[in-house]
A and B are shown apart, each in its own frame.
Chain A
Amino acid sequence: MILFQAVIHQIYFVMAGVVALLLLTRLFRRKTRPGLTYDIVYAYAIIPFVLRALHIK
C-alpha cells in the first residue's frame, strides 16, 4: 500500500513535467490561436507545472 502510494506520488511529479513540456511545445508550435494573448497564457501556465516537477512548490 505504502509502495503504491509512493509510486503514484512520483508518477504525478512526472506527469507535471510532461504537462510542462507539452505547454512548452505548444508555446512554440501550434496551428490555432497564434496571438500574443495565447503566447502569454502558455508561457505563464508553464510555471506551476515546472515548480511542481522540480519539487519546489
Chain B
Amino acid sequence: MLLVRRIALLAGALVLMIVGTREIRALRAYRETVVVSAALTSQIPLSTYFDGIKATLMDAPVYVFDSGVPGGSVLLIGGEHPYEPASPVATYVIMENITVTRGRVFVIARANMSASTLGMLGNAYPPFFRIKTPWGEKTYRIGDRETSPLEQWPDPFTFVHYPSTQNLAYQDSRNMNRTYPGRPDGNLTERTSYAVSEMIRREKIDMTIDLHEASLGYPVVSTYVCHQRADELCMMASMILSAEQFPMKTEVSPKSLRGLTHREIGDFTDSFAVLMETPEPFIDKFVGPMTEALMLTGRDEFMQTAADRGLLYADYNMKTGASLDYRVGRHLAGAAEVIKQMGEFYPAKTVKAAWPTYGEVMKQGIGYFLHDPAKADPRRVFLD
C-alpha cells in the first residue's frame, strides 16, 4: 500500500512536470520572424568580432545597413533585458522599414538571446505577447532580465565587475547590462558584452544606442542616460523631443555605476554611449495582474493610485496608459533625434537613416509597420 502511494505521488509529480513545462519548452524553442528592409547589406553573427561566444545561444545576429556613402555609424542594441519588450520590438520596426542614405546602421535586436528564452522566476507573467497587424498576428517572446542558467550556472557568491572590481549582486553576473565592457576569458555574459565592445571598436561605431524600459517608480524613466562625452547631444535631443513630441529627460551616466553600456562603452571605446528608458508599467512591482493586456496597453488601476499620490517619476493616466505603441514610438523618435544631433554637432559623423516616426506609430500602430513573412522575399526573412 505504501509503495503504491509513493508510486502514485511520483507519477503525479511527473504529470505536473510535463504539463507545467509545456510553456517553458515552447518559449525556449520559439524564434521570432523579421522581414528585413531592402536596405540590408549583410547579416553576420556577433561571434565575427569575438569567437568566444561561437556556437552558443548568445551569438546574436547583427544586421548591417550600409548606405555606401561616407558618414557616421550607429549601433542600436535591443533586448539586453528581454522583459522590456519595447526594446527588441523597436529594433524590429526599424529593421523592417529602414532606409539609409548616408553612413552605416548596425542593429542587434536580441542582444541577450538566452535571457529571452525563459520567464522571470517568481513573476507570473505570460511567455509571449502578440501584435495585431493588417495580415494577422505576430508573436514575440517576453523573457527574463538575465541570461538563462541553462547557459550560465552557477552564480558566484558576489559578482566582481571587470575591470573596476566593484562588487555587484550575484545575479548581475548574468545581467548583460552589468558586464560591460566585457572580458574575453570571463563568463558567457561577460564574453558577449566583450563581443559587442569589440564590434564597436573594430567597426569604429560613432554612437551606440542601448534601448531599455523602466518602471515608473524608478527615477531614470523616460530618460536618455548618456556618457559625459555624449551629454550635449542628449540634452539637445531631449529638449527638442520634450518641446515637440513627448517628455524626455537626460541624465549623465554616474561614474561609480559600473558595468552599464552608458558608462563602459563610453569609457572603453570611442563611441558616444546613449541608453534610453521608456515608462513600462508591466515591470513595476505594485501593478495588478501581469497580463499580456497590461504589457500591450500599460493600463493599471494601482499605477493610477500611485500616480494620484505623486509616487511616480513619469506622467501617468490610466485612460491612455503607456501602450507598446507609445513606448516603441518613443524609442524610434528618441534614437532618430539623438542621431540627428550627432550630425549637427559633428558633421563628419552624420548618419541619414529613416524609419517610422513617433506620430506614425501612434496613428497607425506598430502592426502596420510589420510585414508578412509569408509574402516577403525569403532572402529578407530572418529568425531571431
Contact = CB atoms under 8 A, between A and B. Distances in A.
A55 B13 CA distance: 18
Interface string B289-308: 00000000000000000000
A40 B153 contact: no
Interface residues of A, number: 24
Contacts of B13: 43-44, 46-47
A36 B5 contact: yes
Interface in A20-40: 24, 27-28, 34, 36, 39-40
Contacts of B154: 8-9, 12
A13 to B, nearest CB: 8
Contacts of A36: 5
Nearest to A44: B13
B199 to A, nearest CB: 19
B41 interface: no
Contacts of A47: 13, 16-17, 20
B24 interface: yes
A43 B17 contact: no
Interface string B13-42: 100110011001100100000000000000
Contact of A43 (B6, B150, B186, B191): B6
Nearest to B118: A57
A7 interface: no
B101 interface: no
Given A2-B185, A34-B2, A56-B21, A43 B12 contact: yes
Q: Is the interface of A mostly helix, strand, loop or mixed?
A: helix
A5 B16 contact: no
A11 to B, nearest CB: 9
Interface residues of B, number: 27
A27 B10 contact: yes
Contacts of A1: 185-186
A46 B16 CA distance: 11
Contacts of B6: 27-28, 39, 43
Contacts of B383: none
B187 A57 contact: no
B16 A2 contact: no
A57 B24 contact: yes
Contact of A51 (B2, B21, B188): B21
A5 B183 CA distance: 14
B9 interface: yes
B10 A43 contact: yes
B243 interface: no
Contact of B17 (A34, A39, A51): A51
B245 interface: no
A5 to B, nearest CB: 6
B124 interface: no
Contacts of A40: 9
Q: Which of A9, A24, A50 has the most CB of B within 10 A?
A: A9
A9 B152 contact: yes
A9 B5 contact: no
Contact of A55 (B10, B17, B20, B150): B150
Contacts of A27: 6, 9-10
Closest 6 A/B residue pairs (Cβ): A43-B9, A1-B185, A43-B13, A43-B10, A39-B9, A47-B17
6 contacts: A8-B154, A36-B5, A43-B12, A47-B17, A56-B28, A57-B21
Interface of B: 2-3, 5-6, 9-10, 12-13, 16-17, 20-21, 24-25, 28, 52, 118, 149-150, 152-154, 185-188, 191
Given A39-B5, A52-B149, 11 more contacts: A2-B52, A9-B154, A12-B153, A39-B9, A43-B6, A43-B10, A43-B13, A50-B17, A51-B21, A55-B150, A56-B28
